[in-house]
Amino acid sequence: MNTGRLFIASLVVITTLILSLDNSFLPRVEEIDSKSFSAQRVKADIKVISKEPHSIDHPFEREIVRNYLSDRLAEIGMDVTCYRYDSIQDRFKRSIDIANLYAVSEPVNRSAGSYVMLIAHIDSRFKSMVNGREEYSFGAADDGYGLGVILEVVNNAQKYRDKWIQGIKVLFTDSEESNLEGIKNAIKHDSLIFNNVGFIINIEARGVKGAAILFETSAGNRNIIDLYKRARYPYAYSLTTAIYRILPNNTDFTIVKDRFPGMNFAVIDNLNYYHTKLDNFENISLKSIQHYGDQIEPIVEEYLINPKYSQSDYLKSDKDLVFFSLPYLGLITLTPNIYLILKLIAFILLLFSLLINIKLKKFSSGDLIKISLILVGFILLCSFVGYSISRLAATLNDMEFRFQYLPYIKSEYPIIAAFLLFIFFIFLLLYRRITINMRLSANAILTCGSLLLIILSTLMFYYTGDSALFFVPVLISLPALFTSRFKDLRFLNIIFIVLIIMFITPLMYSLIVALTIGSLILFSAIFIMFLWILAPIADSFLRDV
């Protein structure tokens, strides 16, 4: 093993890991006197909004927030209407009164043919049990972020209103936290406010910090994602839409996404603050707020001034794009046809590599079965240990175990990091034994691992409609099957390692913070599968012969 290359590879990998965390997507916070979107100005609105808890249990405080928002919208220059709904049955079967705020702003000297509607919810979370205590959220992030960002975006849009061809509608819903009653009643009783809406942006928060992710789009997203390319610092994965369809989570967007093209944004980091008293003004993240604005503001501007959006059905499509973000490289999009072609090419190249390895007696079909069994067995063992750790963590914290949502666990991230690091060192020992005892080449192991990932990506696509999580790393690793055969080309392997890590790291981080330690069984399995293709690529780069 070349020690110089080992030092280079280690330095590159560590640097890439650090730079690829979701903070790499976060922009610089604009000054308060900036002409563009400024989180500093949003901060002032959130301070008022989050002064007190304002859930369905707090009608007086909720009315104060609603009046403040109404005054701010009117001050910006929008026509504001309050729609009240009496005696609504909340999720606890209590009778409550709720009220939505609706505002509209038209182009100068013309009627809009279509509108972009911006949605956020007024109410903070009702009473939650946190580590055996009853707590109310102050709603600074959920959904102070959404309310404040919309006020800032709409206010800035007024500066170029003479260029508008389309108009803006704002809907601040009530009782989102309780059975989505605000948006449901708007659809049922005041559906006229949705007339000629051609595009919806819903802003949420499932945490208090980190990058603001476009975590969901409506179906047929081809034209939506073309519009999203206008965003600064894009952070989006088609995979998250596929996963969100499976999870038992809902937002206001859930009610409207089948009728209107749209986007759903949220920060998802730090669920320990989510729906607790720690969701307060002191814990807001200006960088996260800035990231919302730097994505949403250019999208809104493009929609308002581009004539092609004057038809309210322009963004509708029957095609879905596969898309994902890479730090510093931006948004990567693939059409279904291109994605299918790449899959076929990948499968053919892998079969070709497999045949070459067998012909050159690098391994036999029996070796392939052995490697597959070792990989699957190691995954199952580590996943079982990960599941046991999750169950133990829930028991020690006196919480009911839930696979996709296990918040408020003490030292959650150190536990996850320590376990994945433990898996990493055990994997290195296992890899060494395979290469020495079975005398298999790195190329043979990469071929086997890639084939298994291709199979998994096919199964994942069948069940979720998206397979980028497994397929993209395989696609990036394909050239290594051939460069590894030539000593003078092995230096290229470090580029493939960097690209795979850049893809994996923010996505894995997002999955961890979104699904919590309850899904440690899943993180373990995914981590091992990625190691199985990274290790042989790195091994080929480090060898002298």
pLDDT (average), residues 295-301: 98
Reported as type and span, the H/E element at residue 252 is helix 252-256
347 pLDDT more than 60: yes
Percent of the chain with pLDDT over 90: 59
Q: Which residue has the tokens 């002191």?
A: 282
Please enumerate in sequence order all residues whose Cβ is within 8 A of that of 474, keeping only pairs 6 or more positions apart, or say none.
346, 350, 450, 453, 454, 457, 533
| Class of residue 230 by CB neighbours under 10 A (exposed 0-12, middle 13-18, buried 19+) | middle
CB atoms within 10 A of CB 411: 11
Q: Which residue has the higher pLDDT, 486 or 259?
A: 259
- 453, 503 Cβ separation under 8 angstroms: no
Q: pLDDT tens, 407-418?
A: 888 889 999 999
- pLDDT over 60 (residue 2): no
Q: Ranked by mean pLDDT, which of 43-57, 243-257, 396-410, 498-512 comes out on top?
A: 43-57
Contacts of residue 241, defined as CB under 8 A and 6 or more positions apart, other chains included, come to 215, 216, 217, 221, 466
Write the burial class of residue 391 (CB in 10 Å: 0-12 exposed, 13-18 middle, 19+ buried): middle
Residue 92 has pLDDT above 70, yes or no: yes
Q: How far is CA 176 from the centre of its chain?
A: 21
What pLDDT, on the 0 to 100 scale, is given for residue 16?
80
Going by C-beta distance under 8 Å and a sequence separation of 6 or more, which residues neighbour residue 455? Answer: none
Cα 245–chain centre separation: 13
Tokens of 103: 């505002």
How far apart are alpha carbons 332 and 323 in whole angstroms? 5
Instruction: Give the number of other Cβ atoms within 10 Å of residue 193's Cβ.
Output: 18
Q: How far apart are CA 168 and CA 96, in angstroms?
A: 30
313-351 burial: b if 16+ Cβ within 10 Å, else e: ebbbbeebbbbbbbbeeebebbeeeebeebbeebbebbe
For residue 302, pLDDT beyond 90: yes
Residue from 521, 509, 530 nearest 211 by CA: 509
User: What is the architecture, at CATH level 2, of domain 31-334?
Assistant: 3-Layer(aba) Sandwich (3.40)
pLDDT average, residue stretch 312-317? 94
Please state which of the ranges 94-103, 292-301, 336-345, 438-447 shows the lowest mean pLDDT. Answer: 438-447
Residue range 334-338: average pLDDT? 89
Instruction: Name the more confident of 259 and 361.
Output: 259
Q: Residue with structure tokens 């928002």? A: 69
pLDDT at 292: 98
The pLDDT tens digits for 440-489 are 778 788 888 888 888 888 888 888 778 889 999 999 998 888 887 777 77
User: What is the pLDDT at residue 407?
Assistant: 83
Per-residue pLDDT band for 270 (boundaries 50, 70, 90) equals confident
Q: Distance of alpha carbon 258 from its chain centroid, rounded?
A: 20
Q: Give, as one character, the DSSP assignment of residue 37.
A: -
Residues 368, 136: Cα–Cα separation, whole Å: 56
Q: What is the mean pLDDT of residues 426-434?
A: 88
Residue 409: what pLDDT?
87
pLDDT value, residue 1: 53
Q: Residue 339 pLDDT > 60, yes or no?
A: yes
pLDDT tens across 480-496, in order? 888 877 777 778 888 99
pLDDT score at 99: 97
The answer to whether residues 226 and 319 touch, using CB atoms and an 8 Å cutoff, is: no
* pLDDT over threshold 60, residue 544: no
Q: Is the pLDDT of residue 545 over 60?
A: no
| DSSP-assigned letter for residue 123 | -
Question: Is 60 exceeded by the pLDDT of residue 389?
Answer: yes
Q: What confidence tens digit (pLDDT) does each residue in 188-211 have?
A: 999 999 999 999 999 999 999 999
For 384, other C-beta atoms within 10 Å of its C-beta total 12
How confident is the model at residue 402, as a pLDDT? 86
What is the band of 232 on the pLDDT scale with cuts at 50, 70, 90?
Answer: very high
pLDDT of the residue at 305: 96
* DSSP-assigned beta bridge partners for residue 191: none
pLDDT score of 192: 96
User: What are the φ/ψ torsions at residue 172 (nearest 5 degrees)?
Assistant: -100, 110
pLDDT given for residue 102 in this prediction:
98
Could you give phi then psi for residue 117, rounded to 5 degrees?
A: -110, 125
Residue 432 has pLDDT above 60, yes or no: yes
What pLDDT, on the 0 to 100 scale, is given for residue 3?
Answer: 61
56 has a pLDDT exceeding 90? yes
Residue 410 confidence (pLDDT)? 84
Burial of residue 40 (CB within 10 Å: 0-12, 13-18, 19+) is: middle
Q: Is 253 helix (H, G, I), strand (E, B) or coil?
A: helix
Name the DSSP class of 526: H
Distance (Å, rounded) from C-alpha 210 to C-alpha 142?
14
89 versus 283: the higher-pLDDT residue is 283
Question: Quick check: 67 pLDDT over 60?
Answer: yes
The least confident of 31-40, 65-74, 217-226 is 31-40
List the chain domain ranges.
3-21+336-542, 31-334
DSSP string across 133-200: EEE----TTTTHHHHHHHHHHHHHHGGGGGG-SSEEEEEEES-STTTTHHHHHHHHH-GGGGTTEEEE
